Chain A
């Protein structure tokens, strides 16, 4: 048990180190950090002095170690463009992205899973057919198109919802939230739907096909043959078994919600880290870019770790050892 968790944590640690290495090389080798810090007229000696003082002449492993130890202390350097600490830029932007992503994830899970179960259990009903054909749109239309369509209908045509921005926000300590004002909530609706739609349909289709698979298994047939009620068979036996494989993929999907937020944030000019990243690319703001990379990777790793542990508790085949002697 402890060893399982330890092994997983160690694995995550290794993954994070690899990402840190990529992020570090971006930082070190793409563009010249000095050129972005000093004026064009600075003399070569001055540049060299700066190099020395920033430790850019040290051996690469030493630089990497310094990079990692700074990252652990949440120091990611100074933005080239804004001349501010990257960490405070992120701290400002992150709540917007997290609020959007978490709401989308809840939408995707809260609608996707029940819809998957419903369409699996009532395969022939007209409602299932409707939901399934509808989901095709969700899968096939690109996210930005959905966003633009929504803006066109609800902002341009009917003036019901704002087409960009986060509305009014309230500052709760370090966290800025849009959930407490009417305009903040209104602004959240369309981006959240846009971001959730693809994952929702994916999760629904996944749950549906997995559940259909489970309903065909021998143990479901045997459970029916013993006269267990439909409720026990469907929700006590089938659903549990459906969720075991679904958990993994769903975990990854939630990770990609945060990653995909880039597109949605761009379409809706949502002031989150995704938009920040796009701006950083335009401005070749390497520290911001590499920090964003690290951030997204750590989200993925944390989600993955959670999923693995969850899996471990749901599936006794992992938890309880096989007993060879019977």
Chain B
């Protein structure tokens, strides 16, 4: 009765021959996708998700090769096809979309030419028909004024628009399966939402199935029908999306789900999976997860589990093996997440530690004078931060959210004094640090502020040993104290959960999470009170992110730190912050105590972000469509910067910039709120 699956992968094995022996990247992996179905593939980076996708469309980068198993598409074996035949399948029957829309398009050809090239490769159309079809496709993916845009080059499109073009390209020969590898990871939340909705709608219209590869559980929760969880080159669990999210069975899935912060609930600490995924050359025998698994037992260390049925899902775990040894007999980990209020952190009426007023940071990005004269253009000024007020109390965590380019990183750098502010004042504990002279005069105060960056790789000197990296941050005065110095470095490393022995190694010997620990240890060297963290976990996998977030919470409690925490991820900010500010084009348009902001958002932009963010608590929900993209800070719209995207904008909004006012503990800059014409926020 059952129709044959559209795609069937049986016992796939992918290997990389190297000088030090063969590495097995994918080991005995089987999966299938039905026509029209959305299969989500999740897992941490390095789990083999992209390799699986590449193997299916026959685009493994040499020396990688398929060393075993078979791939069937519509019942036909495709893994051994000669290149010329495989080419007729790629694009025509199986399409692909990659992560980064900025680099997926050929910069030297117009988008129209790239689409017609692709159509010509698969469909018997005349150039004129191909162009007509290209136009139709661009319209379908929501490119406005397609007739004009078809002759534009990729660099003339914004990131979101480019990803739409990429989707048009993937769909142009009507393939029955789309392999989408992290299609929204490089995009901002509001655009992410648009792209996911578009992809899903188009695929159901065209009857295409999707293999949606992502590390973002929120996206999966909203989009997928079934989910496969990958770990170390194997599938650990596969089942319907609601089962995976709400009734995960595999200990790894349970840990993974627990480590994802959610807007739907407040927890003190996230579930933490210690350690990290094994490298390819040191995969453990038996169950590959056993060194990290809290439920591991004897059998796990020697025998490899394969997928076996467990309820509506299938799980590769010995806990679910023999019915005699009923799951109840073994302690099956509970899927429940530790809950409980955590907003006690940061005492209610603590004194202000740092306060910035009217902060402005402009960058002059004008072309050279000669060009300006010849082209009769004026100076170009980026108003990265444009009149921002912020005040953070002792022991607080102030979360700053906003889409990329809205000026978050610039705020961070200006506050810690890496940039000289164009205008405005910065007071730290009553000491003014607004100008370079003031900072130089108050060095000891200045040192109480430290910064942690997004990319630990780039911020650690690769030629220094970890010991020297951390030691460098210890102030001169403490260094001279004989003996104590070495201990201090060891203590700092211990504080961030590393061993003093790690001091002898170099940064490249550590994983991304450990490198971020090292940069935290370095920041702690000067015994700071105030840490500015700019997207400290954005480059990390969720399980590692949970480790770092937990570490930050512990450090705050033990050392009495105050944080300015910057992220584009609302769930992370929700989890860690006591207060949250929402930034849009250089200003904080709304700030409030965390729970208040997330349950009773006032500003239309905050509401839009909350609508857009994919979250695991939103399985199968319909989202409101979000319009538009962040405009350029070079020439921001007049009046309220948000008015071109705002559903409540009126004439006043277009002409007059709103001031921040306090409404029941929320500071918000919006005319509609002031005029009382904003509808109540949906609750629930």
Report Cα–Cα, A52/B170, bound state, in Å.
80
B109 touches A6 (CB 8 A): no
Asked whether B92 is an interface residue with its Cβ less than 8 Å from the other chain, the reply is yes
B629 touches A222 (CB 8 A): no
Q: How far is the CB of A235 from chain B (nearest CB, A)?
A: 12
A residues less than 8 Å from B169 (CB atoms): 222, 226
Report Cα–Cα, A315/B635, bound state, in Å.
26
B residues less than 8 Å from A317 (CB atoms): 107, 153, 155
A316 touches B107 (CB 8 A): yes
A326 touches B59 (CB 8 A): no
Q: How far is the CB of B445 from chain A (nearest CB, A)?
A: 41
The one of A7, A226, A241, A322 that contacts B371, using a Cβ cutoff of 8 Å: A7
B627-640 contact mask (Cβ, 8 Å, vs A): 1 or 0 = 00101101100000
Given contacts A3-B374, A6-B374, A229-B121, contact A223 B155 (CB under 8 A): no
Q: How far is the CB of A127 from chain B (nearest CB, A)?
A: 19
Q: Which residue of A lies closest to B374 (CB)?
A: A3
B residues less than 8 Å from A245 (CB atoms): none
A residues less than 8 Å from B105 (CB atoms): 219, 222
Name the interface residues of B82-110: CB closer than 8 Å to any CB of A: 87-92, 95-96, 98-100, 103-109
B88 touches A221 (CB 8 A): no
Asked whether A324 is an interface residue with its Cβ less than 8 Å from the other chain, the reply is yes
Find the residue from A228, A229, A237 having the highest chain B CB count within 10 A: A228
Given contacts A218-B98, A226-B121, A316-B155, contact A326 B161 (CB under 8 A): yes
A228 touches B158 (CB 8 A): no
Q: Which residue of A lies closest to B628 (CB)?
A: A326
Asked whether A232 is an interface residue with its Cβ less than 8 Å from the other chain, the reply is yes
Asked whether B1 is an interface residue with its Cβ less than 8 Å from the other chain, the reply is no
B91 touches A228 (CB 8 A): yes
A residues less than 8 Å from B103 (CB atoms): 217-219
B121 touches A320 (CB 8 A): no
A232 touches B632 (CB 8 A): no
A202-238 contact mask (Cβ, 8 Å, vs B): 1 or 0 = 0000000000000001110111111111001000110
Given contacts A7-B374, A225-B59, A326-B157, contact A320 B152 (CB under 8 A): yes
A306-325 contact mask (Cβ, 8 Å, vs B): 1 or 0 = 00000000111100111111
Report Cα–Cα, A315/B153, bound state, in Å.
10
Asked whether A240 is an interface residue with its Cβ less than 8 Å from the other chain, the reply is yes
B155-170 contact mask (Cβ, 8 Å, vs A): 1 or 0 = 1111001000010011
A residues less than 8 Å from B172 (CB atoms): 226
Q: Which residue of A lies closest to B634 (CB)?
A: A324
Name the interface residues of B589-644: CB closer than 8 Å to any CB of A: 629, 631-632, 634-635
**B interface, over-half SS:** loop
B residues less than 8 Å from A221 (CB atoms): 59, 98
B117 touches A225 (CB 8 A): no
A225 touches B90 (CB 8 A): yes
Given contacts A320-B156, A326-B629, contact A226 B107 (CB under 8 A): no
The one of A224, A227, A229, A324 that contacts B631, using a Cβ cutoff of 8 Å: A324
B91 touches A241 (CB 8 A): no
A3 touches B371 (CB 8 A): yes
Number of A-B contacts (CB under 8 A): 106
The one of A224, A237, A322 that contacts B90, using a Cβ cutoff of 8 Å: A224
A314 touches B108 (CB 8 A): yes
Asked whether A244 is an interface residue with its Cβ less than 8 Å from the other chain, the reply is yes
Name the interface residues of A267-326: CB closer than 8 Å to any CB of B: 314-317, 320-326
Q: Which residue of A lies closest to B92 (CB)?
A: A227
Report Cα–Cα, A314/B109, bound state, in Å.
10
Given contacts A240-B108, A314-B108, contact A227 B117 (CB under 8 A): no
Asked whether A252 is an interface residue with its Cβ less than 8 Å from the other chain, the reply is no
A64-106 contact mask (Cβ, 8 Å, vs B): 1 or 0 = 0000000000000000000000000000000000000000000
B residues less than 8 Å from A224 (CB atoms): 59, 90
The one of A227, A241, A324 that contacts B635, using a Cβ cutoff of 8 Å: A324
Q: Which residue of A lies closest to B108 (CB)?
A: A240
Asked whether B283 is an interface residue with its Cβ less than 8 Å from the other chain, the reply is no
Q: How far is the CB of A159 from chain B (nearest CB, A)?
A: 50
A residues less than 8 Å from B156 (CB atoms): 320-323
The one of B95, B107, B152, B375 that contacts A241, using a Cβ cutoff of 8 Å: B107
Report Cα–Cα, A10/B373, bound state, in Å.
13
B106 touches A226 (CB 8 A): no
A237 touches B106 (CB 8 A): yes
Q: How far is the CB of B382 from chain A (nearest CB, A)?
A: 12
A residues less than 8 Å from B117 (CB atoms): 228, 232, 236
Report Cα–Cα, A317/B105, bound state, in Å.
13
A residues less than 8 Å from B92 (CB atoms): 227
A225 touches B155 (CB 8 A): no
Asked whether B370 is an interface residue with its Cβ less than 8 Å from the other chain, the reply is yes
B residues less than 8 Å from A324 (CB atoms): 631-632, 634-635
A residues less than 8 Å from B634 (CB atoms): 324
Asked whether B337 is an interface residue with its Cβ less than 8 Å from the other chain, the reply is no
B residues less than 8 Å from A236 (CB atoms): 109, 117
A219 touches B370 (CB 8 A): no
A residues less than 8 Å from B87 (CB atoms): 227-229
Given contacts A3-B375, A317-B107, contact A222 B153 (CB under 8 A): no
A227 touches B108 (CB 8 A): no
B107 touches A222 (CB 8 A): no
B residues less than 8 Å from A241 (CB atoms): 106-108
Asked whether B118 is an interface residue with its Cβ less than 8 Å from the other chain, the reply is yes
Asked whether B57 is an interface residue with its Cβ less than 8 Å from the other chain, the reply is yes
Q: How far is the CB of A211 from chain B (nearest CB, A)?
A: 14
Q: Which residue of B lies closest to A243 (CB)?
A: B108
Q: How far is the CB of A122 from chain B (nearest CB, A)?
A: 13
Report Cα–Cα, A41/B379, bound state, in Å.
66
Find the residue from B98, B106, B118, B166 having the highest chain A CB count within 10 A: B106
B121 touches A219 (CB 8 A): no
B residues less than 8 Å from A320 (CB atoms): 152-153, 155-156
Report Cα–Cα, A192/B587, bound state, in Å.
65
Asked whether B465 is an interface residue with its Cβ less than 8 Å from the other chain, the reply is no
Find the residue from A227, A228, A241, A316 having the highest chain B CB count within 10 A: A227
A225 touches B96 (CB 8 A): yes
Report Cα–Cα, A292/B313, bound state, in Å.
82
B residues less than 8 Å from A226 (CB atoms): 90-91, 95-96, 118, 121, 169-170, 172
The one of A10, A218, A228 that contacts B104, using a Cβ cutoff of 8 Å: A218
Given contacts A316-B155, A322-B155, A326-B629, contact A222 B166 (CB under 8 A): yes
A residues less than 8 Å from B88 (CB atoms): 227
The one of A3, A222, A315, A325 that contacts B98, using a Cβ cutoff of 8 Å: A222
A223 touches B161 (CB 8 A): no
Report Cα–Cα, A265/B98, bound state, in Å.
54
Given contacts A10-B370, A316-B155, contact A227 B121 (CB under 8 A): yes
Q: Which residue of B lies closest to A222 (CB)?
A: B104
A residues less than 8 Å from B91 (CB atoms): 225-228
A residues less than 8 Å from B632 (CB atoms): 324
A residues less than 8 Å from B98 (CB atoms): 218, 221-222, 225
Asked whether B10 is an interface residue with its Cβ less than 8 Å from the other chain, the reply is no
B residues less than 8 Å from A219 (CB atoms): 103-107
Q: Which residue of B lies closest to A244 (CB)?
A: B108
A residues less than 8 Å from B122 (CB atoms): 227
Sample of 10 A–B contacts (CB below 8 Å):
A218-B100, A219-B103, A222-B98, A222-B104, A222-B105, A226-B90, A227-B89, A317-B153, A320-B156, A326-B161
Q: Which residues of A contact B (CB under 8 A)?
A: 2-3, 6-7, 10, 217-219, 221-229, 232, 236-237, 240-241, 244, 314-317, 320-326
Closest 7 CB pairs of A and B: A227-B91, A3-B374, A225-B96, A227-B90, A226-B91, A218-B103, A316-B153
Q: Which residues of B contact A (CB under 8 A)?
A: 57, 59, 87-92, 95-96, 98-100, 103-109, 117-118, 121-122, 144, 152-153, 155-158, 161, 166, 169-170, 172-173, 370-371, 374-375, 629, 631-632, 634-635
- Known: A236-B109, A316-B155, A326-B144; 10 extra A-B contacts, CB below 8 A, are A6-B374, A222-B96, A226-B91, A226-B172, A227-B173, A228-B87, A237-B106, A315-B107, A323-B156, A326-B161
